[in-house]
Chain A
Amino acid sequence: MTTSDNKFTFVKLDDKASEHIAAPKYSYWNSVFKKFFSSKVAIFLLIVLAAMVAMSLIHPFISGYSPLDAPNINNPSTWYNPPSAQLWFGTDNVGNSLFDAIWVGTRNSLLIALTATAISTVIGVIVGMFWGYSKRMDAIMLNVYNVVANIPYLLLVIVLMYVLGRGIWQMIFSLSCTSWLSTAYFIRVQVMIIRDREYNLASECLGTPRTKVIFHNIFPYLISVIMTSLARDIPSFISYEVFLTYVGNGLSEKDASLGRMIQKYSAYMTSSPYLFWIPVAFSAIISVSIYVVGQTLADASDPRTHMV
């Protein structure tokens, strides 16, 4: 029973090696970015979006455009100039450059959509987390939700705008007045699903503090849910602004916005179609970009997609 021992050599016992976990290194945010930037469409639309946001922030300061000013109103040769090399988007009925106007309009439309989304998301997520956790609060909030969810949202926004008057802040208030409730409901359902999963029960049994459970076990799952709701909310708020202003229940004359421009220039739809279609195209491009970028980010921020 002699085996050739010379094929084996003794190694020194390494205490550290037994501590090494043979799992790949995982970082949540690194994986999110890696996943997000693997989508070429999303990168392209993100660049488009960033360029549009930057232009709408910077350009109004350069142009100094205000919808109430009309410096060229007495100079008919500047009216209705179609798009050209000097005037990229042409001029409108009082000789104002549409290129100047559209960035102010984009800025205000984005301001309304982003602020309303921020308000309804912040309130919605905070309320939704508690709502999902506390059974007593669930009983009360469900009844509130059933009342509010039954009211047609558009009706509510229109009536609120009517009552509060026209203006950017009134519109932000009207839009976010009840929309946070649907975000909260959305979050509540997600929290309830994740809350009682085995790994959370195990965490609690092992003595992990509750705040750590919330922030390390539950929040990463919620990020993708929140991103999905953001990607849905911003375009829908842009759409509501455009529509409300178009039917005359939205912003007043002194505030430029995409909806305001579509309403103002719809009279020239056949005579100078560029005046009408450029704002329409802008509203569509911005909405689609935000939606696609947001959805891609939502997919990327879902930890389940990180497993290869």
Chain B
Amino acid sequence: MKNYILSRIIKSIIALFVVLSIVIVMLFTLIPRVNIFKNDTSIQRMKGDEKTSYMYNKWDELGYLDFITFNEMCYASSDDVKACVSGDTKEAADILQEYENNGYIIEQFSDGSYYGYYEYNPLEILGNFYSHFIQIDHPNKIEDPDNPDLERKYYIGSDQNGVPAVMCSGCEYKYQIYFDGSFPFIHQNIISLDFGTSYPTKLGIDTMNVIADGQGNAKMEEQTFPTGSTQNSPLLQHSCRYKPTSTLDRMDTTKFTDNYANCDTQYDSPSMISTSLTFGLISLFIAYLIAIPAGIYMARKKGKLADKIGIVYINFLSAVPSLAFIFFVKQIGQGFGLPDKFPHYGFGDIRSYILPIIILALLSTSSLMMWTRRYMIDQSNSDYVKFARAKGLSEGEIFNRHILKNAIIPIVNQIPVSIVMTISGSVITETVFAIPGMGKMLPDSINMLNNNMVITLTFIFTGLSVFAVLVGDLLMTVIDPRIKLTEKGE
């Protein structure tokens, strides 16, 4: 069994990275790289050399190519930098030739100065992506020439609330492991995944932070800083990162005693992940609450009117395009004065939540009802049911005590999958209601040609679903020990 779990995990991880790699290569090679500037507002004001250099720098930053200006070439490769930089010398021509031989394409700005770029092939793109994919924080990470005496050590300290935390000096993050009141209560900053920054929307913010950080306005909170001063500030002290000495300002020194002053801001609205999670979990709960009793009832009344009505409902829901169904329910809901878009009342108002949750719940009831009914009916022909009937048990006892316990197993198998998948949100419902969640982010980032965001979402969606299926299978063996995932049952 252990071997089986291990091989499943390895296979899952391989599957995840195969998918991620294919998506990365497709995004970088099949979409013309000029397209990424379509929604960039800052480039529209630029022209000439400024625009050219902006574009190449952006491509360099996003990992399409390696861009290098003539001066950089000289400093990087020339023995006689002075002669090289002055141009028109043999040294300069040699350097250009050298870069051209290395596969660089040499072009000229309109002022005559040279620049070169090297377009990465798909393997190099993947190599560059994975080389910085997993970031591990360690005490020797920070290199700050202005602060040579920086201590490099781990230590146990306490945070602003007096709670103990594993802290570090010399790392990127001050708090390595810390505890707080929000899920999952224990947090770490040691290992992080780097998907690059978001572009052109949410410019310069790490894509993971776009998804995981709060949204809306900065939320002020009374808090005590390491210097002892108590201020109303939106900073999240647990997220503080090292700030080079040269960029420290007076505002920072009033709050912090050390260089760890680059902190994230706290916002008043929940993050995309928790928004999707809230909607998903509530609607999932409602869906199970409706669908399982309904499915059981249909199985008991098989062939009678209630069963037929249920089948019509199931068929209707599985056939009608979900978009049409959502609009239909939405129209009815608006008749009761419910808002047609989430931002209309926003996060604070319960009315924003009712319609999307009802729709999400109804959409998942149909297949749940169908499978519950199917499993119940399949079980009701088995010998143990006939025996129970022969013993004289009532139909209610047979269904609730005997059949349900066996029929519920495959349904239970689906629960972890459904719970984990709520994180990725519902693409359709979130888009229709303009709910700022994970599901809406996918079409949004595609419309904005935000490639790094698409890669991040692909990783998260695929990772979650791989993980959820695995957990579902393992849980099934716990519930029903008769089920063996391996052939020999080892």
Contact = CB atoms under 8 A, between A and B. Distances in A.
Interface of A: 143, 146-147, 150-152, 154-155, 158-160, 162-164, 232, 235, 238-239, 242-243, 246-249, 259, 262, 276, 280-281, 283-284, 287-288, 290-292, 295
A137 B458 CA distance: 29
Closest 3 CB pairs of A and B: A291-B319, A239-B321, A247-B443
11 contacts: A147-B19, A152-B465, A158-B427, A159-B26, A159-B446, A162-B454, A243-B427, A249-B443, A276-B327, A281-B324, A287-B321
B320 A288 contact: yes
Interface size class of B (residues with CB under 8 A): 35 or more
Nearest to B340: A269
Given A154-B427, A163-B27, A249-B446, A287 B461 contact: no
Residue picked from B27, B322, B443, most chain A C-beta under 10 Å:
B443
A288 B14 CA distance: 40
A163 B26 contact: yes
Interface in B14-40: 14-16, 18-19, 23, 26-27, 30-31
Contacts of B15: 146-147, 150
Contact of B11 (A143, A151, A249, A287): A143
A235 B447 contact: no
Contacts of B14: 147
Contacts of A232: 318
B469 A242 contact: no
Q: Identify the interface centre among A162, A246, A249, A276: most chain B CB within 10 Å of its CB.
A: A162
Interface of B: 11-12, 14-16, 18-19, 23, 26-27, 30-31, 315-316, 318-325, 327-328, 424, 427-428, 431, 442-443, 446-447, 454, 457-458, 461-462, 465-466, 469
A181 to B, nearest CB: 13
B443 A150 contact: no
B316 A288 contact: yes
B321 A235 contact: yes
Given A151-B462, A155-B461, A249-B443, A243 B454 contact: no
Contacts of A150: 12, 15-16, 19, 462, 465-466, 469
B424 A152 contact: yes
Contacts of A164: 30
Contacts of A239: 320-323
Contact of A284 (B12, B31, B324, B461): B324
B454 A292 contact: no
A194 B218 CA distance: 63
Contact of A155 (B12, B18, B322, B457): B457
Given A158-B443, A248-B443, 9 more contacts: A150-B16, A155-B457, A239-B321, A242-B323, A243-B321, A247-B443, A283-B321, A283-B324, A288-B319
Contacts of B23: 159
